[in-house]
């Protein structure tokens, strides 16, 4: 059995090669990828955030941790896809304008893809108009927005406003997530749903396509 505690340490300490090796070995041994993500990888990023807040970590350490996390996640993504289901709908996803955090957004995108959604991932720093233009191009039924900074959260409401201006609000569902958000905030600005993690995001998206 792989020492999975080492995966946590490798990500927290920003050791990308070690994080990749442990993940590869674990996947070869058929260890559930969701367990790797939920029990080892996300807790490592949470601890990196705690250390940053406490002044023990600075931007370079956070960037290294993020790089190791992304490298491990890239190995897990194809496994999630292989376990995928039938087409359920199309989602346009992105991190909102001004915000460069994409680990959580990538996780949600991978889990949605693995559950049968077609995902159009616009990346980071996505302007409200870009979300809406992509909905027009793809006919997607859901916009999924991620924000990790309190200063970028208002961009979500702006996207809802653009949908309204373009007469699309009743044709497109809006779901949101990211550490600083809450169900209450999401409701206040007119989103159709919020979820606090990637697994819950899949359930929410399924509910929204049938609503
Ligand atoms: C890694 C990291 C970075 C990396 C990002 C690398 C990358 N490619 O993403 C780097 C170093 C670049 C970075 C930069 C900055 N960061 Co930063 N960062 C973090 C850190 C440590 C972890 C975030 C993360 O990846 N978590 C792991 C993922 C899996 O969790 P998650 O994103 O929350 O996603 C889950 C859920 O929220 C949900 N979810 C997420 N998105 C969505 C979307 C939908 C639709 C749904 C349904 C669900 C959902 O599902 C996900 C999976 O379960 C956090 C601290 C923390 N604990 O959150 C700080 C943090 C977010 N950063 C912070 C800050 C201040 C910054 C900087 C401003 C620092 C600076 N002075 O320059 C810059 C901003 C850059 C910018 N313009 O965006 C603050 C934000 C404070 C605030 N209240 O706004 C935090 C909270 C750290 C802190 N405690 O102070 N950061």
Name the residue with the closest Cα to ligand 1, atom 19: 49
Residue 1 pLDDT level (bands cut at 50, 70, 90): very low
Q: Residue 13 Cα, ligand 1 centroid: separation in angstroms?
A: 17
Q: Which of 13, 46, 49 to mutate to test the pocket of ligand 1 (most atoms within 8 A of CB)?
A: 49
From ligand 1's centre to the CA of 1, what distance in Å? Answer: 31
Burial of 71 (0-12, 13-18, 19+ CB in 10 A): middle
Q: Please give the distance, rounded to the nearest whole angstrom, from the Cα atom of residue 14 to the centre of ligand 1.
A: 16
| Rounded Cα distance, 132 and 92, in Å | 9
pLDDT band at 81 (very low <50, low <70, confident <90, very high): confident
pLDDT at 34: 87
Report CA-CA distances (Å) from 35 to 3, 58, 64, 135.
13, 28, 22, 33
Lowest mean pLDDT among 26-30, 75-79, 99-103, 117-121: 75-79
Distance between first and last Cα of the chain: 43
* CATH number for domain 5-82, candidates 3.30.420.40, 2.60.120.560, 2.70.98.10, 1.10.1240.10: 1.10.1240.10
Q: Is residue 82 predicted with pLDDT exceeding 80? A: no
Nearest residue by C-alpha to atom 30 in ligand 1: 104
Unique residue bearing structure tokens 């990196």: 48
The DSSP line for 154-204 is: HHHHHHHHHHHHTT-TTT-EEEEE-TT--HHHHHHTT-SEE-SSHHHHHHH
Predicted TM-score (pTM) of the model is 0.91
Q: What is the pLDDT of residue 85?
A: 60
Is the domain defined by 89-210 classed in CATH 3.40.50.2300?
A: no
For the cut 60, the answer to whether the pLDDT of residue 84 exceeds it is no
Question: How far, in Å, from the CA of 146 to the mean position of ligand 1?
Answer: 10
pLDDT at 115: 82
Mean pLDDT (whole number) for 51-61: 93
Segments making up each domain of the chain, as ranges = 5-82, 89-210
pLDDT per position as a tens digit, 145-180: 999 999 999 999 999 999 999 999 999 999 999 999
83, pLDDT greater than 90: no
Strand partners, 96: 126
């Amino acid at each position: 059995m792989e020492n999975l505690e080492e995966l946590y340490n490798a990500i927290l300490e920003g050791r990308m090669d070690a994080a990749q090796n442990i993940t590869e070995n674990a996947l070869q041994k058929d260890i559930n990828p969701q367990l790797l993500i939920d029990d080892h990888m996300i807790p490592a990023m949470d601890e990196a955030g705690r250390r940053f807040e406490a002044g023990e970590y600075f931007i370079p350490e956070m960037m290294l941790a993020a790089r190791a996390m992304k490298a491990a996640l890239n190995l897990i993504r194809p496994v999630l896809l292989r376990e995928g289901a039938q087409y359920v709908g199309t989602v346009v996803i992105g991190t909102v304008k001004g915000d460069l955090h994409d680990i959580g957004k990538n996780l949600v995108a991978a889990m949605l893809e693995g559950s049968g959604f077609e995902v159009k991932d616009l990346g980071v720093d996505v302007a409200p108009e870009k979300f809406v233009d992509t909905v027009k191009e793809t006919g997607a039924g859901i916009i999924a927005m991620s924000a990790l900074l309190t200063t970028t959260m208002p961009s979500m409401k702006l996207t809802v406003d653009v949908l309204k201006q373009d007469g699309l609000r009743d044709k497109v569902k809006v779901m949101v997530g990211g550490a600083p958000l809450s169900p209450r905030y999401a409701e206040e600005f007119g989103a159709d749903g919020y979820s606090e993690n990637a697994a819950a995001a899949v359930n929410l998206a399924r509910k929204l396509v049938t609503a």
